[in-house]
Structure 1
Amino acid sequence: MKKYLILFGLLSLLAFGWKASDDRDAAVESAIKKSLPLLERGSHLFLKNAQALVNCHSCHNQGLGLVTFAMAKEKGYQVNDTIYAEAMDSTRHQWITNGDTRALMEDDDPVATLITGDYDLWGLAANHFAGDKLTDILARNIMHMQTADGSWFSPGKRPPMEYFSFSVTALAVKNMQVYLPGVLRPEVEQRVARARAWMTQTTPRANEERVFQLLGLTWCKGDTAFIAKQARKLLSEQRSDGGWAQLDSLPTDAYASGQALYALNQSGQLAVTDEAFQKGIGFLLRGQEKDGSWHVKTRSFPFVPFVDSGFPHEKDQFISAAGSNWATMALLLAAKNPEQEP
């Protein structure tokens, strides 16, 4: 009799586990289907409204947005073709319509090229854009901005996206390897080695730095034991609610949590099935607003023209759009192929 009871209990646990798994998969799919249209709309409206003010595109809506769109398309989610093409086109032509190509070639352009250019090239690379003369020029320009210690200096003072040297260094390393021609391979390898040394020897303090240290070292094939060590440190920052915070003094939010999950997974240090990853997914699912967004509070002093993209959360919409992209990217890692609606 006892054997039957034990067997019944095991079968019940298995059945419950399957149901719980099915429920989580459905919740992840639902969350993605709510956030993607909002991110698409925000991308379109930012570009539309920016024309009258600054004639530019953004890291938070188009840079990260294109990475999200690429992941969604690869996972089988529907992305609006017109909005996707618009985001790609604005990124490819940003440096022709709003920048001086000759200045780029002569390295006589604003230092702000670094962060915008790096996010642009990452977005293009995520979508398997083969490159052209302009991406070549932009990647060369970024390469020449490497500092003596092997890092790149972040020109912006708008944390977290435009502030930390780890962010631009990691992205520069990735983009040089993707978009610079073979004839420059010896120089690229030498510069990557210097950047790898800097990222290994420099101690990250904020979540953004820990995330991009992991990503940068992964992208440039850093020491695997060191990557694992740093991943454990980032994982140790996960709080009891399942999320991460941008700074020790701040509460957990979707921006820090989404990017931590993404970096830990992409560095090969945390599988989507691991308890810590699922705990992070739970945090994101609980924090999503009914409109499909995640609200992240800004901590930047505004000094560029404000472009209303129609994204929720008013003056917090830039960082909330970025946070919603990171959150959606993490969810996409955990998602199965969606059930297509009839």
Structure 2
Amino acid sequence: MRAGHFWTMTVTMAWAIGGLAVSGPVGADEPRLTPVAVQNALAKTIPLLQLSGAAYREQRECFSCHHQGLVAVTVARARHFGVAVDRKQARDQSKFAHAYFKGREKRIRAGEGVPGGAYNGGYALWGLHADGWTPDSVTRDLVKYLKTKHRHDGSWRIRTHRPPLEDSHFTATALSLRGLQLYAGPDEAKDLGERIPRVRAWLLKAKAKTNEDRAFRLLGLAWAGVEIGEVRKIGKKLVKRQRTDGGWSQIKDLESDSYATGQALVALKTAGVLKSSDAAYQRGCRFLLKTQNPDGSWLVRSRSKPFQTYFESKFPHGKSQFISICGTCWATMALLETLPASKAR
């Protein structure tokens, strides 16, 4: 059996070992993880994400992974679980992304013109597909672009380093693979089939050093159809990195946060390593509920060197707003997985 589901009950319990733990009983000060609690927690979150996405478009002309790609995927997941979203706003996000790459088609067809490289193109295709965008000349151009950037060793490389969002070859590789799977045409099936084994081999061999690496390695392995036993073996190592507070951290020396925690949970669920009913998953979600701000956001402190002039995108947390909107997206997607699937709104 292969692990290839996009978002994929046994309850386990373990106690802290060396500062790490996967689960335990709910303490008196721990929030209860119920559908009502999750729905209430996200009542302000989705409108805030969509508001900030629109504000970004008003001030910038470029596609962004933080305000377009991740927000589009998160809003689509919210719809899947019956959470009300502004569908016009979601489509406007997609139109903005599409128009940006359409305006650069000549450069993209020449193998350039995608700021951020393959990672950026992968996020764009992931977001467009989440919103139900039909394949067209723009998606074909991005697919071709990703193919030109595919290395012989099976990987795609990150070009710039702005941790944690834009810092991992695993992220670039997993998202590029997913972009090809989502938008490559039927006539490209043979080519894709020849690429996937190279991707698998690289993902299995390369060493993950950060939570971003580990999460996207797991997503990449699942999307590449690696045998489920191998995926779970690797995924359990990520589970063991869960801390006593229920969260995960981006790197060893940082505190647990919503970005690393939500990302780890989504990867573990998607890859079939954890179910949302598993104790470790629920403990992580309780950490998220406990650390959410009253406005519906989560704060993630920026550790990247700024490269553009500061501006307000109507998302909280000042100079940490870009990475905070990413952390809020990952946290939201993780919490959504605890809800029953519902008719999209």
Q: TM-score, normalised by structure 2?
A: 0.87
Match of 2:230 in 1: 226
Structure 1 CA distance for aligned equivalents of residues 229 and 73 of structure 2: 28
The residue aligned with 1:122 is: 126
- Contact kept, 8 Å, 2:171 with 2:212, in 1: the verdict is yes
- Higher Cα Rg, which structure: 1
Which of the residues 77, 87, 111 maps onto 2:83? Answer: 77
Aligned to 1:49: 59
Task: Specify the code of the residue in structure 1 equivalent to 2:57.
Answer: L
TM-score, normalization by structure 1: 0.88
- Show CA shifts across 1:264-313 (max 9, x none): 00111101111111100100000000111000001101113434211000
Gaps of 5+ in 2: 1-29
Give the Cα–Cα distance (whole angstroms) in 2 for the partners of residues 339 and 145 of structure 1.
39
- Summarize deviations over 1:86-120 as a string: whole Å, max 9, x none: 111112211123x2x11211214356232221111
Deviations 1:141-196 (A, max 9, x none): 01110122111110121111111000010011111111111222222111221111
Query: Is the 1:46–1:57 Cα contact (8 Å) retained in structure 2?
Result: no
CA drift of 1:22 comes to 8.1
1:157 maps to amino acid: H
CA separation of 1:276 and 1:256: change in aligned 2, threshold 3 A: same
User: Following superposition of structure 1 onto structure 2, how do residues 181-192 of structure 1 map, counting pairs within 5 Å?
Assistant: 181-192=185-196
Q: Deviations over 1:122-150 (max 9, x none)?
A: 11122332311110111110111012211
Q: Matches of 1:191 and 1:305 in 2, distance apart?
A: 39
CA contact (8 A) 1:43 1:61 kept: yes
Q: How many residues align?
A: 316
Aligned residue for 2:65? 59
The answer on whether the counterparts of 2:32 and 2:286 sit within 8 Å (CA) in structure 1 is no
Query: Which residue among 230, 248, 270 is the counterpart of 1:266?
Result: 270
Kept in 2, the 8 Å contact 1:154–1:165? The answer is yes
> Quick check: which one's helix share is greater?
1
Segment of structure 1 superposing worse, 162-171 or 184-193: 184-193
Q: 2:42 aligns with which of 32, 49, 56?
A: 32
**Does the CA-based 8 Å contact 1:67-1:122 persist in structure 2?**
yes
CA–CA separation in structure 1 for the residues paired with 2:333 and 2:87: 19
Partner Cα separation in structure 2 for residue 151 and residue 229 of structure 1 = 22
Tell me the CA shift for residue 25 of structure 1: 2.0
**Aligned residues of 2:75 and 2:85 also touching (Cα < 8 A):** yes
Identity of aligned residues (%): 36
Tell me how far apart the structure 1 counterparts of residues 31 and 66 of structure 2 sit (CA, whole Å).
Answer: 32
Following the alignment from structure 2 to structure 1, what is the Cα–Cα distance between the partners of residues 318 and 306? 13
Q: Which amino acid aligns with 1:29?
A: Q
Distance between the aligned counterparts of 1:82 and 1:108, measured in 2?
A: 31
Are 1:302 and 2:306 counterparts? yes
* Contact in 2 for aligned 1:46/1:307 (Cα 8 Å): no
The verdict on how the C-alpha distance between 1:187 and 1:329 changes in structure 2, with shifts beyond 3 A counting, is same
What amino acid is the match of 2:249?
Answer: A
Q: How does 1:61-210 map to 2 (within 5 A)?
A: 61-97=67-103, 99=104, 101-110=105-114, 112-210=116-214
What is the root-mean-square deviation of aligned Cα atoms in Å? 2.1
Corresponding residue for residue 244 of structure 1: 248
